[in-house]
Amino acid sequence: MIRFTKVSKQYPRGGPALEEVSFSLRRGEFAFLTGPSGAGKSTILKLVYVAERPSSGEVRVDGKSSVTLSRREIPRLRRRLGVVFQDFRLLEDRTAEQNVAFALEVTGTPQTQIGPKVARALTQVGLASKSTALPHELSGGEQQRVAIARALVNDPLVLLADEPTGNLDERSTRGIFQLLRDINASGTAVLMATHDLTLVRDAGFRTLELNRGRLVFDSAADDPGAQG
């Protein structure tokens, strides 16, 4: 579903951010991206949601290749991906439900479907009772739940999470991580960049470790089934 083949990335004004990175993520799989600051974790996620293009190699996402993908095809591909960030990135002047609805409005969902889909997504993340709250009226953990609801509302193939617990205390971190596990258990693949090694160790999920742009460890490397 996601396949990186010898992907290198050089930003216009930087050193090599990724060097010959190859791995695959299957439908429904959960994998962590770990490694020190600057190792290339965010760059991998950006290549998946086509905020960046590889300098060489190929990124395949849902059957689409970075080699042949046209600009016109990007919005359609992004609709199949949910993305959440460390800093939530909610619209501050809109309520929780308006933030989630926004993701449906921009993808042209018929008006009659928006209300029920938003309600379902907010229920899924445990925030049905706060649907009319503005972001500043919510805790960090609750804001991240709204962001996750927004990422899920279009039924993505994969949820991409860039340090989703980086701004949260330990209790909220556990709650958000449990939510990501539940989402994964219901069939959505999750690719999560994190510094939180305790989380990684305790969860026992596949781990892709980067260091200075190189993939230095893949816990599934001995499992040929995980490479397809």
Helix (H, G, I), strand (E, B) or coil at 219: coil
Considering the complex, state which of residue 17 and residue 83 has its C-beta at the smaller distance from ligand ATP: 17
Which residue in 14, 75, 115, 187 binds ligand ATP (CB under 6 A)?
Answer: 14
Residue with the two structure tokens 């009772």: 129
Least distance in Å: CB of 195 to ligand ATP? 6
Residue nearest to ligand ATP (CB): 14
- 217 has which bridge partners? 209
**19 burial via Cβ count (<10 Å: 0-12, 13-18, 19+):** buried
Least distance in Å: CB of 23 to ligand ATP? 15
Considering the complex, state which of residue 36 and residue 187 has its C-beta at the smaller distance from ligand ATP: 36
Which residue in 17, 59, 151, 161 binds ligand ATP (CB under 6 A)?
Answer: 17
Residue 123: enclosing H or E segment and its boundaries?
A: helix 111-124
Binding mask 23-62 for ligand ATP (x = CB under 6 A): ------------x-xxxxxxx-------------------
What number of other Cβ atoms are within 10 A of residue 150's Cβ? 27
Least distance in Å: CB of 196 to ligand ATP? 11
Question: Both tokens of residue 34?
Answer: 């770990």
Residue 37 phi, psi dihedral angles, 5° rounding: -55, 135
217 sits near ligand ATP (criterion: CB under 6 A): no
What number of other Cβ atoms are within 10 A of residue 185's Cβ? 10
Least distance in Å: CB of 42 to ligand ATP? 3
Question: Strands 158-162 and 81-85, how do they pair?
Answer: parallel
What number of other Cβ atoms are within 10 A of residue 39's Cβ? 22
115 sits near ligand ATP (criterion: CB under 6 A): no
Q: Give dist(CA 121, CA 214) in Å, integer.
A: 36
Considering the complex, state which of residue 37 and residue 111 has its C-beta at the smaller distance from ligand ATP: 37
Q: Give dist(CA 225, CA 228) in Å, integer.
A: 6
Under the rule (CB under 6 A), what is the footprint of ligand ATP? 11, 13-14, 17, 35, 37-43
